[in-house]
Amino acid sequence: MDEAGSCASGGGFRPGVDSLDEPPNSRIFLVISKYTPESVLRERFSPFGEIQDIWVVRDKHTKESKGIAFVKFARSSQACRAMEEMHGQCLSPNDTKPIKVFIAQSRSSGSHRDVEDEELTRIFVMIPKSYTEEDLREKFKVYGDIEYCSIIKNKVTGESKGLGYVRYLKPSQAAQAIENCDRSFRAILAEPKNKASESSEQDYYSNMRQETLGHEPRVNMFPFEQQSEFSGFDKNDNRGQEAISKRLSVVSRVPFTEEQLFSIFDIVPGLEYCEVQRDPYSNYGHGVVQYFNVASAIYAKYKLHGFQYPPGNRIGVSFIDDGSNATDLLRKMATQMVAAQLASMVWNNPSQQQFLQFGGNSGSQLPQIQTDVVLPSCKKKAPPETPVKERLFIVFNPHPLPLDVLEDIFCRFGNLIEVYLVSGKNVGYAKYADRLSANDAITTLHGKILNGVRLKVMLADSPREESNKRQRTY
């Protein structure tokens, strides 16, 4: 190494190079003041468990501290708890800058990058095929607060494969579960969801089930990296993907109100409702969010998972399996995206409208509407000379819907006289001969997404004021 370390004095255990990561994730990486002595590190971190070694990274020429140090614990759970409780703290009253604490990356990776908290909270276990998710939660809840449990099932038969995941709220809880649970579960730390190597976990345990379980393997938290024996697994029998639905589960280490939850998730168009759930056994924040369509839910999940609110507190967002057919939901989402793209093309290039209306055999068909909104059946329009009782103002995002689609939507509430777009603007108007019909249109359509376009529908000026305004021109 180019950088010399200041090691702990005394006759205590000093790990060799090969055992620095045994057990895995038992070393913490510290960003500290250059003037922090090793004795202070030992004093502040020894309450979390047995310290096997401390070393401070120093300049190889001046021997001055670089403000970086490592602490090696005997157990992974000790290192994780030290990270959770000491990150952002000051080591002494005279320190003005808080320290940073991370779990050190394994030396086999060739770098000392920090490991994200999410990568340390999910464990992969082998369970009896008769286990339900409730059984799995009951077995592992003794080690800490569980965010979710899931059992991997055969996509065709729906039967359990005898494998499951348990996601904890804290890395130390997951580490304790691995260290203390019954060895028959063969618990390991699951690979991150965004890594392709995760799918080999199933193959690891599938092969294990077919072997004699007389030998207890060494528990390795990252056992699947660079192992050729796992490269030939059946890709058609990989781990079931996370269930996709319009409902999301939100978890936070800091409690939140329903107004705060709404303000976060209303950033994504299509929010239907949100609900805060109180857990009498913990101070964590739990909530459920539902969108009108799966596209918004998917976007919200991947945009807001890990979002810091308040700053320093990351929220966890995951799908709630509501029994919906994921294939059908994705098909609807794809259809909406294509419809939105097509509508955008027509709006930006009016010369294409004639081709779309009269090309092929679809010229006589009714316009297609893709939405999760339950719309009434089509009704006849009111005569053009009917007096206007209510006028609605419509805002489109990101672009207006085609006029025939717009008319098909708004006539379904009955008594529609006319619907039109304002040239060059993302707005339009609908005139009704009956106020109840107009109110029904607002209630059903406001804030909803149709053909990939979000609508805002609200009352416009009263009909009696319309005659005092300049007539619109085409």
Domain 27-107 has CATH 3.40.190.10: no
CATH architecture of 247-344: 2-Layer Sandwich (3.30)
Closest by Cα among 183, 223, 217, 172 to 202: 223
Query: What whole-number percentage of the chain has pLDDT above 70?
Result: 67
User: What pLDDT is stored for residue 228 in this prediction?
Assistant: 34
Rg (Cα) of the chain, in Å, rounded?
A: 30
**What CATH architecture is 390-459?**
2-Layer Sandwich (3.30)
Question: In the predicted model, is pLDDT for residue 474 greater than 80?
Answer: no
Q: Is 309 left (phi over 0), alpha (psi -120 to 50) or beta?
A: beta
- Give CATH superfamily name and number for 118-192: RRM (RNA recognition motif) domain (3.30.70.330)
Taking Cα atoms as reference points, which of 157, 70, 172 lies closest to residue 121? 172
User: According to the model, what pLDDT value does residue 198 have?
Assistant: 42
Q: What is the pLDDT of residues 312-342, one digit of tens each?
A: 778 899 888 766 666 666 666 666 666 665 5
Of residues 284, 289, 278, the one with CA closest to residue 254: 284
**pLDDT in the model for residue 174:** 92
pLDDT band at 242 (very low <50, low <70, confident <90, very high): low
Confidence band (pLDDT; 50, 70, 90) for 275?
confident
Helix/strand/coil for 289: strand
- Tell me, yes or no, if the two domains 118-192 and 390-459 fold the same way: yes
Q: Domain ranges in the chain?
A: 27-107, 118-192, 247-344, 390-459
Cβ within 8 Å of residue 45, ≥6 positions away:
28, 51, 54, 71, 82, 86
